[in-house]
């Protein structure tokens, strides 16, 4: 009885979240510049309406009553629990703060798109300070309502249950283990032959669609487009991934697309019976990232995959059969090249965690107030120098302005990238003995997709990331599988 009311309410909320997802996609992919103000206002109004519908007093009452209700099945009970969790978080935030946050982040993000290109950090101090201030207020509201540390409370919004106390020891292990592995990888790696090019956007998009189709992306329920920053958005039945094309380096967009395809296949693999209900939605962002990195890093940067893909790549781009630059071995050298660089999204999987740890450390200082926005460039430079030996002084475009996240209000999100990398490695190691990856070299991805679907996608939000991981791999989250993978692939052991 009350469960039905909950279900109906969240079906409507899910419908409005569909609108939010599509308008955000459109903003990044289609919207002309002049539409920004109207779009920011529309998204702010929608955020307010959705917030009011979630935090409605009756939702809490219905969820309490549903917890006592008999005759519900496991999924219905899990849905009621998930709704209660979401309700508690929404209830902690006043509507004005939610609306103001939506408006401020939309404007800050729009400004960032222009100002990053101009390397104009000063122009971003004011809008970003506003966003950080609103983030801090949210963290305090959530922390005191949920009895959590404020930064944990933000992180819990992206990966439910994740805490600094779990992450800190893991990140300390990585900070110790990775630097010598980076040195060793750089030391042993061979230089690939230069990649052919340039290639047009249309050529690269044709290649991307070709590979997406082979991996199992369903184009009747999704699209590939171009945006400033690659992402996966939309809806399980209308999953939209984006990329950007570098004419001189087709591997950049190719692997970005393979990454987003992993995200998309998670969405497309969610259980159809639970569309637009909280329990039927994808889980935390660490789990989501594990799906993209499983595809990109574990599967597609392997020599086996590239043996399958090399002729498709060469043919799609009109390459010469006799040119050894197109060989699987050469693509593999390029795809597994390790180097210390400025840009997180261009980083290899060995240096990547250090980019994340830098951001994780700085954003905690922003939230606890020990660092102000004006100090970011200096602090960024100091950590880049310490972790990767590179200075970003005077180059904020490739330093603290490179990522959209903080400018769009995502604080507490960065750690999920590295948690996702660890999870991906752990899942892949667990899947291997079942033989599901045996056909990768022949382009047979069905068994792999089936394993992910039954072990991960099918659970949607009925279980937490940590439950799913433990059931699929028999172990809690750790660094062993990831470090073992790095050691094997990059020749940094025996």
Q: In the complex, which residues of this chain contact a copy of itself (CB under 8 A)?
A: 11-12, 15-16, 18-19, 22-23, 26, 30-35, 37-39, 41-42, 44-46, 48-49, 218-223, 234-238, 275-276
Q: CA distances (Å), 147 to each of 64, 84, 88, 95, 141, in order?
A: 19, 16, 11, 20, 10
Instruction: Considering the complex, state which of residue 268 and residue 418 has its C-beta at the smaller distance from a copy of itself.
Output: 268
Q: Give the DSSP letter string of 314-337.
A: HHHTT--TT-GGGSHHHHHHHHT-
Closest Cα partner for 6 from 73, 59, 74?
59
Helices (H), 189-339: 201-215, 250-268, 285-293, 303-316, 328-335
Task: Return the residue matching tokens 């283990």.
Answer: 177
User: Is the Cβ–Cβ distance between 59 and 87 less than 8 Å?
Assistant: yes
Q: Provide φ and ψ at 444, rounded to 5°.
A: -100, 105
102 or 402, CB closer to a copy of itself? 102
Least Cβ distance, residue 40 to a copy of itself (angstroms): 10
> Smallest distance from the beta carbon of 62 to a copy of itself, in angstroms?
19
Token readout for 247 is 């004419």
Closer to a copy of itself by Cβ: residue 238 or 249: 238
Known active-site residue 82: no
Nearer to a copy of itself, 35 or 491 (CB): 35
Q: Are 132 and 405 in contact (CB under 8 A)?
A: no
Torsions phi, psi for 410 (to 5 deg): -90, 90
What is d(CA 355, CA 344) in angstroms, rounded to the nearest whole number? 6
Residue 187: CB minimum distance to a copy of itself, A: 47
**DSSP tally for the chain: helices H, then strands E:** 19, 3
Least distance (Å) between residue 150 CB and a copy of itself: 30
Q: Which is nearer to a copy of itself, 50 or 404 (CB)?
A: 50
Task: CB nearer to a copy of itself: give 130 or 240.
Answer: 240
Q: Min. distance of Cβ 403 from a copy of itself in angstroms?
A: 26
Identity of the residue, 184 or 264, whose beta carbon is nearer to a copy of itself in the bound complex: 264
Q: Residue 226's beta-bridge partner residues? A: 243
- In the set 82, 260, 289, 363, the catalytic residue is 260
Six-digit token pair at 128? 């970003």
Contacts of 323 (CB under 8 A, 6+ apart): 196
Give min distance, CB of 35 to a copy of itself, in A.
Answer: 3
**Cα–Cα distance, 317 to 60 (Å, whole number):** 56
Measured CA to CA in angstroms, residue 75 lies from 281, 285, 410 at distances of 12, 21, 30
Nearer to a copy of itself, 33 or 57 (CB): 33
Contact of 259 with 295, CB cutoff 8 Å:
yes
Dihedral sign for Cα 303, 419, 469, 267, please: negative
Kindly state the smallest distance separating residue 385's Cβ from a copy of itself, in Å. Answer: 41
Q: In whole angstroms, give the CA distance from residue 220 to residue 474.
A: 36
Q: Which is nearer to a copy of itself, 24 or 253 (CB)?
A: 24
CA distance 412 to 223: 29
Q: Which residues pair with 241 in a beta bridge?
A: 224, 232
Nearest approach, Cβ of residue 281 and a copy of itself (Å): 13
Phi, psi values for residue 38, rounded to 5°: -60, -40
Nearest-approach distance from CB 131 to a copy of itself, in angstroms: 20
Q: Strand order of the sheet with strand 222-226?
A: 222-226, 238-243, 232-235
Question: Which active-site residues does the annotation give?
Answer: 260
């Amino acid at each position: 009885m009350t469960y039905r009311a909950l279900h109906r309410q969240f079906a409507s909320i899910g419908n409005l979240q569909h609108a939010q997802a599509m308008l955000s996609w459109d903003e990044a992919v289609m919207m002309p510049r002049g539409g920004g103000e109207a779009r920011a206002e529309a998204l702010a109004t929608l955020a307010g309406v959705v917030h009011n519908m979630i935090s409605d007093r009756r939702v809490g009452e219905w969820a309490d009553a549903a917890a006592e209700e008999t005759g519900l099945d496991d999924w219905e009970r899990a849905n009621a629990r998930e709704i209660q969790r979401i309700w508690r978080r929404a209830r902690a935030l006043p509507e004005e703060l939610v609306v103001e946050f939506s408006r401020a982040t939309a404007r800050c993000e729009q400004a960032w798109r222009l100002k990053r290109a101009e390397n104009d950090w000063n122009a971003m101090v004011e809008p970003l300070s506003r966003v950080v201030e609103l983030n801090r207020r949210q963290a305090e509201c959530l922390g005191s309502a949920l009895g959590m540390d404020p930064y944990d409370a933000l992180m819990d919004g992206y990966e439910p249950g994740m805490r600094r106390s779990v992450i800190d020891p893991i990140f300390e292990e990585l900070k110790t283990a990775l630097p010598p592995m980076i040195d060793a990888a750089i030391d042993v790696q061979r230089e690939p032959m230069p990649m052919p090019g340039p290639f047009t956007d249309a050529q690269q998009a044709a290649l991307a669609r070709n590979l997406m189709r082979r991996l199992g992306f369903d184009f009747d329920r999704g699209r590939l487009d171009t945006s400033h920053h690659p992402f996966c958005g939309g809806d399980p039945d209308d999953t939209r991934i984006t990329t950007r094309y570098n004419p001189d380096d087709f591997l950049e967009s190719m692997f970005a697309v393979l990454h987003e395809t992993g995200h998309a296949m998670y969405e497309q693999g969610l259980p159809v019976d639970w569309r637009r209900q909280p329990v039927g939605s994808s889980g935390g962002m660490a789990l989501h990232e594990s799906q993209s990195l499983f595809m990109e890093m574990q599967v597609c940067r392997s020599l086996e995959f590239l043996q399958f893909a090399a002729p498709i790549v060469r043919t799609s781009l009109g390459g010469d059969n006799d040119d050894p630059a197109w060989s699987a071995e050469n693509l593999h050298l390029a795809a597994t090249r390790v180097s210390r660089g400025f840009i997180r999204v261009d980083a290899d999987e060995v240096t990547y965690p250090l980019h994340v740890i830098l951001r994780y450390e700085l954003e905690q200082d922003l939230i606890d107030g020990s660092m102000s926005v004006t100090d970011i460039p200096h602090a960024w430079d100091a950590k880049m120098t310490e972790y990767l030996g590179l200075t970003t002084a005077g180059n904020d475009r490739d330093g603290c302005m490179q990522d959209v996240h903080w400018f769009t209000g995502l604080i507490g999100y960065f750690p999920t990238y590295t948690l996702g990398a660890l999870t991906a490695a752990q899942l892949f190691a667990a899947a291997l003995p079942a033989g599901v990856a045996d056909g990768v070299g022949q382009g047979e991805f069905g068994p792999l997709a089936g394993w992910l679907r039954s072990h991960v996608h099918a659970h949607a939000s009925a279980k937490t990331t940590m439950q799913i991981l433990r059931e699929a791999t028999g172990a809690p989250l750790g660094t062993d599988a990831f470090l073992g993978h790095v050691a094997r692939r990059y020749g940094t052991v025996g």
